[in-house]
Amino acid sequence: MGDASTDTYQSHDGLTLFYRDYGDPASTNTPVICVPGLTRNSRDFTDLAQHLSAQRRVICPDLRGRGFSDYDPNYKNYNPATYAQDMFTLLAHLNIDKVIWIGTSLGGLIGFVVAAMKPDILAGVVLNDVGPVVAEEGLERIRSYTGKLPPVTSWDDAIKQAKLVYGASLPDIADDRWPALVRNGYREDDTRVPRLDMDPKIGDAVRETATPQGDPWDLWDRMADIPTLAIRGILSDILDEPTFDEMVKRKPDLIQVTVPNRGHVPLLDEPEALQAIDAFVARIG
């Protein structure tokens, strides 16, 4: 995958977890960690990581149950608190004590947990189409298909399936770009048939997760002193406009960017998103 090196580390409960490591570890600029969405993996960040790694180190993990990381035998461990612990273990493994956190969807929710538990780790946070409140419409959509999609038998079938799931969120993506996007989320098995690169049990964990008790804005308020950039796809059914507006009311220094022709989630290669990320990480140094 480009100029990335790859390696693994051991979680606190004995899983072997995978990550990609871009750029120069000796760089004096603050390193970046890119944390993917619910059913996604580190390959989603290949282009962004290669771009950012010209100036700094960039770490892209596969969360447990995705990509080249071990599946968890106890699917109830597929939750933000466990993922946050895995990220603490990874950063300690790499001797990194301060990062810029880029989190897509679930990756942003994990960032909220990190901010509540160990805020000093975070030099800044980029949230890709996620806020403290997840819109019910989008949540139900995700629950309806995660871990339930039928198997495909070819790459053409995988492209058709991905368009069915993500097409409404990416209305202007040209047909010739879909094969590369699909290979970020699918991988060939031993029989050379593409499969979704995730544990289907992640869907069970999502559907069994109860609505969190308490005020979801409490986690957001703990971000008060952390520089934050929030990116929203204008068509998003996960980060709705009222939530986006409330975020900046509670945190007036929040940098907000809206990406046209994107739902959940922007790919982060859109000019609006990429320019905002470049400026944000440059300001942190």
Over the stretch 37-91, which tens digit does the pLDDT of each residue have? 999 999 999 999 999 999 999 999 999 999 999 999 999 999 999 999 999 999 9
pLDDT the model gives residue 213: 62
Question: Which whole number is the average pLDDT over 199-213?
Answer: 83
Q: What is the pLDDT of residue 210?
A: 61
pLDDT over 90 percentage in the chain: 90
Q: How confident is the model at residue 139 (pLDDT cuts 50, 70, 90)?
A: confident
**Integer Cα distance of 252 and 183 in angstroms:** 39
**Mean pLDDT along residues 206-235:** 88
Which fold would CATH assign to domain 5-135+213-284?
Answer: Rossmann fold (3.40.50)
Beta bridge partners of 257: 231
**Percent of the chain scored above 70 by pLDDT?**
98
Helix (H, G, I), strand (E, B) or coil at 23: coil
Per DSSP, the residues of 145-209 read HTTTPPP-SSHHHHHHHHHHHHGGG-TT--GGGHHHHHHHHEEE-TTS-EEESB-THHHHHHHHP
Domain locations in the chain? 5-135+213-284
* Per-residue pLDDT at 1 exceeds 60: no
pTM assigned to the model: 0.96
Element (H or E) spanning 119, and its range?
none
User: What's the confidence (pLDDT) of residue 263?
Assistant: 96
